[in-house]
Structure 1
Amino acid sequence: MDTNTTTDETIRGDAAVREERPHSALRGWLGVAAITASLFAFLTTELMPVGILTPVSTSLGISVGVAGLMVTVYGVSAGLGVPFIVAWSRRVNRRVLLSALLAVLAAGNLVTAVSPNYPLVLATRLTMGFASGVFWAIGVSMAMRLVPERQASRAAAVVMSGISIAAVVGMPLGTFLEDLTGWRTTFLIWSGLSALVFLAVAAVIPSLPSRNAVPVREVFALPLRNVRLRSVMFTVVLFVLGHFGAYTFVRPFLEGDSDASPASITGLLMAYGIGGALGNFIAGHTATRHLKATFVTACSGLVASLLLLLTVGHWTAAPVVLLVVWGVSFGAWQLCQVNMTLAAAPDTFEAAMSLNTLAYNTSIAVGALFGGLFADHLGVRSVLWFGAALTAASLLVTLAGVRRGRPASADAR
C-alpha cells in the first residue's frame, strides 16, 4: 500500500511538472521576459528615491536624511516580511501571486504620486516593500520552471539581468523624467509601467502551482544548521549596509562635492548602470571558475571607488570614472553573492532565497537609515566614509575565511 501510494504521488508530481511547462518554447521565454520586466519594475521602484531625494525633500518640506526613509521602510518590509508571506502563501499558484504583487506595486506608485503628505508616502512604500520582498523570493524559481530543465540556468541569468537594466535605464530615466516633469509625475509613469507588466504576466505566464515551499520555522532554522550559508549571509549584510548606505545619498554628495547639475546626475547614474552591466557580464565568465577571486576583486573595487570619490571626487572627470568602477564592482559582487548563496544551500533553494532577501533588503533599510543619520548630523561626505568602512569589513571577513581555508564566504563552485 505504501509502495502504491508513493508511486501514485510520483506520477502525479511528474504530471504536474509536465502540465506547468508551456506548450510553446516561445511562450516560455516570453514568460521569462515578463518576469525580467517585473524585476525591473520592482527594483526601480525600490531605488527610485535615490535619484530624486533632493526634489522630494524640497517639495514635502523635509530633510534629505528623512527623505531617505523612503528607501528604509521599503527595505524593512521587503526583508522582514518575506519568509512569513512566502510560507503563508505556499498553496497559492505562483502566477496568481505574482499578478497580485504587481497590482500592489502599480497601486502603490499611484498613491505615492498623489500623496498630500510624507507620512502617507512612507506608509505606501512600506506596503509596496512587502510585495517586492515576495517577488525576490519567487521570481527566479518561477522563470526556471517556464523553460526546459536544461535551459533553467539560462532563464535565471536572464531574469537577473533585469538588475543591470534597472541600473542602466530605470533609475537614470526616473531622474531624467523628474527633471522634466517633477517627482510626482515620475511615480505616476511608473504606476502605468507596473500595470503594463501586470498585463504581460497575466497574458503569457501559465499556471504555476506552488511547490517546494516550507514552513517559516524551517526557513529560520536553516542558517543554524548550515554554517556556510550563515557565513555568506554575514558577508552580504556587511556589504549591503555599506553599499546602500552610501549609494542612497550619492546625488546629494555629487551635488555638493562636484557641483553636479540634475542633467549631470542623470549621466553619472547611467555611467554607474553601464558599469553594473559590465560587471555582471565579466562576473558571468569569471565567477563560475574563480568565485573567491571575483568576489574579493569586486569588494576591493568598491572600497577603492568610495575612498577615491572622497579624496579626488571634485576633479572634473573623476566622478564619471569612479561611478563606473563602483558600478562594475557592484554588478560583479551581485552575481557572486547569488552564486555564493546557491552554492551554500543547493538543496533548499527557496528557503535560501527567502533568507537572502531578508538579509539583503533589511540591510538596505538599515544602511539607508544610518546613512540618513550620518548625512543629517555629520554631513553627506560622512555617508561615503560609512560605506567604505562597512564594505571594507565585508572584504576582511572574506579574506579571513580564505586564509583559514574556509570557503564559506565565497565558495568556489
Structure 2
Amino acid sequence: METPASTVKSWLGVAVITASLFTFVTTELMPVGLLTPIGASLGISVGVAGLMVTLYGVSAGLGVPFIVAWTRRVNRRALLSALLTVLAIGNLITAISPNYPLVLTARLLMGFANGVFWAIGVSMAMRLVPQHRAGRAAAVALSGISIATVAGIPLGTFLESLTSWRTTFLIWSGLSALVLVAVAAVVPSLPSSNAVPVREVFALPLKNIPLRLVMITVALYVLGHFAAYTFVRPFLEENSSVTPGFIATLLIVYGAGGAIGNFVAGYTTTLNLAATFAIARAGLVAALLLLLTIGHTTPGAIIALALWGISFGAANLCQINLTLAAAPNTFEAAMSINTLAYNTSIALGALLGGLTADQSSVTSAVYFGLALTTASLLTTLIRRRSSTTATGATQP
C-alpha cells in the first residue's frame, strides 16, 4: 500500500529522470541553436557544423542495442549514473576543445550514452510508480524534451549571445554533474528487468510486425523533422531579418508548443492512440508548409514554430506508447530498437539536410524534411486503408 511519503519519493525519482532527459536532449540539440557561431569560430560551413548532431545520432542509434544487451544485468541506477558521468566529461571536452575533430569525438562518445539513456530512462520512470500510474510517469519523463526546447536550447542560444558557445557547453557540463548527484540521492536501486541478449534484440522487429511498422513510420517522420529542424536558425536568418534574440524566442515558442502537445497527447492517446499519432504527423506537415510559405514574416514564423512544437511533442509521446503496446514484455529491448531507429534517423536527417543545404540552400533542406514527414503520414494512411479494405475494420 502506498503512503504519502513513498508517493512523494516515487515522483521525485520521476522528476530526476525527467531532469536527466532534459540534460541529454539539450546536449544533443544544443548545436541547432549554435550552428552559425560554432561554424564561424572553427572555420567550417553550416553543413559541416551540423555533423555535431549527425555523429551524436549515429552513435546513439547504432550502439544502443549492443550496450543495452551487454549491460542487461547492471543495476539501472548505476548505469544512469555512468551515462551522466560521460555526459559531464563530454560537454567539458567540447567546451575546451581546440579543434573540430576533438569536438566530434566528444560528441560521438556522448551519443553512445544518450542512446542507452533513451532505452532505459522511460522504463525507469515507469517502474518508480504503481503500474496504473506508469503511463503518466512516461508522459512526465518525456516532458523533459519539451522543457529542453522551451528553456534549455533557447537558454543556450541566449547564453552564447552573451558569452560564447564554449561557455554554454561548460555550463551544461556542470548541469550534467548536478543531475548525477540528484540521481544518486533520489533514484532507488533498480535491478535490470526484461533485458535480452543482442541477437534477441535485433530479432524483435523481424518477429514483431506491429513493432516493425512503428519503427518505419517513426524513422520517416524523424528523418524529415531533423532534416529541417537542424537548420531552422540558418533558414530564418536567410529568409527573414531576425536577431539571435528573436530566434531564441521562436525556439521557446517551439518548446512551449512541445509541452502543450505532450500534455494533450497524454490524454488523447488513451482515447485513440493511432488517430493521435496520425494527427500529430499531419501537424508536422502543415507546420513545414507554413514555414515555407509564411515563415518569412514574424507572425508566420511564430505560428509555424508553435504548430511544429505541438505536433512533434505529441508524436514523440505517441511513438513511445506504440512501442510499449507492440512489445509490453520486452520494453527495454524494444526501446533499444526504437532508439536505434530514432537516433539513426536524427543522424541521417541532419546529414542529408546538411548536404542539401550546402549543395542547394537551407530552404531546400526544409522541403526535403517536408517530403519525408509527408511520406510517414501517407504510409500510415495507406496501410490503414488497406487494412480496412481487407478486414472491414480499421486497425491501429
Q: TM-score, length-normalised on structure 1? A: 0.92
Residue 282 of structure 1 aligns with which residue? 264
Q: Counterpart amino acid of 2:244? A: P
Among 356, 369, 376, the alignment partner of 2:338 is 356
Letter in 2 for 1:169: A
| Structure 1 residue 128: Cα displacement | 0.2
Shift of 1:23: 8.1
Is 1:99 the counterpart of 2:81? The answer is yes
SS of the residue corresponding to residue 206 of structure 1 reads coil
Question: Does structure 2 conserve the Cα–Cα contact (< 8 Å) formed by 1:106 and 1:195?
Answer: yes
Aligned to 1:340: 322
Give me the whole-angstrom Cα distance separating, in 2, the residues matched to 1:229 and 1:75: 21
1:385 is aligned to 2:385: no
The equivalent of 1:231 in structure 2 is 213
The 2-side partners of 1:57 and 1:65 are apart by 9
Helix, strand or coil at the partner of 1:287? helix
Q: How does 1:41-120 map to 2 (within 5 A)?
A: 41-120=23-102
- Cα deviation for residue 246 of structure 1 reads 0.3
* Residue of structure 2 in register with 1:12 after alignment: none
Counterpart Cα distance in 1 of 2:119 and 2:175: 22
Task: Give the one of 371, 382, 396 matched to 2:353.
Answer: 371
In the TM superposition, what are the counterparts of 1:313-332 in structure 2 within 5 Å? Answer: 313-332=295-314
Answer yes or no: is the 8 Å Cα contact 2:387–2:395 preserved in 1: no
| Match among 156, 165, 179 for residue 138 of structure 2 | 156
Deviation at 1:316? 3.0
Distance, in Å, in 2 between the alignment partners of 1:193 and 1:22 is 30
Trace 1:291-302 onto structure 2 (pairs within 5 A). Answer: 291-302=273-284
SS at match of 1:105: helix
Distance 2:395 2:19 in 1: 30
1:157-208: CA deviation from partner (whole Å, max 9, x where unpaired): 2111111111111111111111111100000000000000000001111221
Q: How far did 1:109 drift? A: 0.3
Which residue among 13, 26, 31 is the counterpart of 2:8?
26
Structure 2: 5+ residue stretches without partners: none
- Structure 1 residue ranges without an equivalent (≥5): 1-17
**1:371 counterpart letter in structure 2:** G
SS in 2 for 1:349: helix
Cα distance between partner residues in 2 of 1:278 and 1:404: 33
Quick check: 1:22–1:146 contact (8 Å CA) kept in 2? Answer: no
The structural deviation recorded for 1:302 is 1.2
Do the aligned residues in 2 keep the contact of 1:72 with 1:365 (CA within 8 Å)?
A: yes
Q: Which residue number in structure 2 is paired with residue 212 of structure 1? A: 194
Amino acid of the residue matched to residue 37 of structure 2?
P
Q: Give the TM-score taking structure 2 as reference length.
A: 0.95
Deviations 1:271-305 (A, max 9, x none): 11111111112212212212232222211221122
Match status 1:249 vs 2:218: no
Amino acid at match of 1:118: Y
SS class of match (1:347): helix
Give the whole-Å Cα distance in 2 for the aligned partners of 1:200 and 1:177. Answer: 24
> How far 1:411 sits from its partner (Å)?
6.1
Residue-by-residue CA offset, 1:309-342 (whole Å, 9 max, x unaligned): 1122212311011110111111111111112212
d(CA) in 2 for partners of 1:152, 1:97 = 21
Q: Is the 8 A contact 2:194 2:329 kept in 1?
A: no
1:338 is aligned with what amino acid? I
Q: 1:22 to 1:136 in 2, by over 3 A?
A: farther
Listed one character per residue, the Cα deviations across residues 120-179 of structure 1 (whole Å, up to 9, x for unaligned) are 000000000000000011111112222233333322221111111111111111111111
In 2: Cα distance, 1:206 partner to 1:28 partner = 9
Is residue 344–residue 411 contact of structure 1 (8 Å, CA) maintained in 2?
A: no
- Partner SS state of residue 270, structure 2: coil
Partner of 1:14: none
The one-letter code sitting in structure 1 at the alignment partner of 2:182 is: A
- Matches of 1:370 and 1:378 in 2, distance apart? 12
Kindly indicate whether the alpha-carbon contact (under 8 Å) linking 1:22 and 1:28 is maintained by their aligned counterparts in 2.
no
One-letter identity of the residue aligned with 1:401: R
Identity of paired residues, percent?
71
Q: What SS does the corresponding residue of 1:243 show, helix, strand or coil?
A: helix
Between 168-177 and 311-320, report the one with greater CA deviation. Answer: 311-320
Distance in structure 2 (CA, Å) of the matches to 1:285 and 1:73: 35
The counterpart of 2:163, out of the listed 181, 194, 205, is 181
Provide the rounded CA distance (Å) in 1 between the counterparts of 2:21 and 2:42: 29
Residue deviations 1:187-235, cap 9 Å, x none?
0000000000000001111221112110000011011111111111111
